[in-house]
Amino acid sequence: MKHLFLFAFTAILFVACKEPPQQRYFSESTETEILKSGIEAYETANWDKWKSHFSDTAKIFVNSVKHTTVDKRAKALEAMAGAMSSYGFNHDKEYIEMVLDKENETWVYYWATHNNTFAKSNKKLSIPVHLAVQFVDGKIVEEHIYFNETEMNAEFAALSEVQTDTINSEI
């Protein structure tokens, strides 16, 4: 009986000393707030603030395995925004979470619908977008952006053709 009691006590002590599993998913964190701040900067065309959330060596992948720099991405976004009369994400139906992966890297995932209206054609598009953003020391070091760019590219091409046709008719 004494051995049974000692065994039970040891088992209870062993179970009680086990560390609880580490939380790996977060709906709110410093990193999710940084990403939200970056999205707000994008939506208000505050490119310096948008760039401030990235590390100097950050890599941005846009529907590609090839990366671009923060400065080049900011110029592309600024050009895109210049062609829009309005643009931004539907914040009523967005989803954001931070994850500590198995290598203990910090990633923030964002899903939302991007709505925009082209200034010249008044064409409206709604495109689902997914961001996968890696953080180190409070800065974005890697961003992967995924969306179907077919409709947007087609509209830019159509606007380019209209502009070319207008220029050719004036010659």
Q: How does pLDDT run across 66-96, given as a tens digit for each residue? A: 999 999 999 999 999 999 999 999 999 999 9
CA dist., res. 152 & res. 86, Å (int): 14
Q: What pLDDT was estimated at residue 11?
A: 60
For the cut 70, the answer to whether the pLDDT of residue 55 exceeds it is: yes
- For the chain, how long is the longest CA-to-CA vector? 105
In order of their start, the domains of the chain are: 22-170 (3.10.450.50)
- How many CB atoms are closer than 10 A to CB 95? 10
Burial class (CB in 10 A: 0-12, 13-18, 19+), 24: exposed
If DSSP codes are grouped into helix, strand and coil, which group holds residue 145? strand
- How many CB atoms are closer than 10 A to CB 38? 22
Q: What pLDDT was estimated at residue 93?
A: 93
Q: What pLDDT was estimated at residue 159?
A: 79
CA dist., res. 84 & res. 118, Å (int): 4
